[in-house]
Amino acid sequence: MTQKHRMALVTGASSGIGKSIAERLLKDGLTVYVAARSVDKMADLADKGAIVLALDITKEEQIETVAARILEEHGGVDVLVNNVGYGQYGPVEDTPIDTARYQFEVNLFGLARLTQLLLPAMRDKRQGLIIQISSIGGKVFTPLGAWYHATKHALEGWSDCPRLELKPFGIDVVIIEPGFINTGFADTLGGNLTYRKDGAYADFVGRFEGRVDKSRTTGEGSPPRVVAATVARAVRASRPRTRYATGQMARPLLFMRWILSDRTFERIIVSQFS
């Protein structure tokens, strides 16, 4: 591990990808702050040496408290892993706009505010690495995922711009694009799936849920440690790539999206839910 990367903050570290990233960075010798709403679910990380913080990324006061504590205790972080996020699914017509706004608060605006607060210390040090956990969903699209995909498309564009702004200060921005990762998504989808059971899209939603259930049964997806290893690779690199695609089907799907026409890609995607 390079000497310049000693302090890290990982958000959304109570489970899945975030927890795996925190474990890997601890193993690699970094001092790691971990933040999430469910503090009790990070007790195992505390046992491994992580510093646990409570954070609801949609609450300004909590974001400010987390940033202030890290700045006071360690003068900031060298590596910021913006991992917190979730997927809101459902037909566009059936999804309340307030629900859509909340998806953006979690997946974009909250991490943007946290980044703003930690950037001045990075600039003062003239070095830092911001790692955005995006998704192949930032480039591809699926039915019922309009608001989730919108946030990931937005995150990709948002991340490219500060990379240009921050380069003179020695700060880099890296985007990680996981494919299918076995994080219990199928088990939590029900609470994030909004639709009218007597509405026009009910049949399609049923087929979608059936496809998700099949993926749960067959155990589709790479383990979260695959993403963690990719993050560790970016942290070690003297000149990291701007983007890393990782996990099951990440590269094939991104290649398909690049080479195929929109209509051809649509037919392939829709066929998976027929």
- Give the active site residues: 148
Cα–Cα nearest to 131, from 268, 253, 5, 249:
5
d(CA 226, CA 179): 10
What six digits make up the tokens of 161?
Answer: 């711009």
Element (H, E) at 140: none
d(CA 270, CA 266): 6
Instruction: Name the DSSP letter for residue 70.
Output: H
Strand-pairing partners, residue 9, are: 33, 80
Element (H, E) at 84: none
Reduce the secondary structure of 238-250 to three states and give it as a string. Answer: CCCCCEEEECECH
Provide DSSP, 172-194: EEEEEEE-BB-SSHHHHGGGGB-
What six digits make up the tokens of 80?
Answer: 């910021």
Tokens 């998976």 belong to which residue? 272
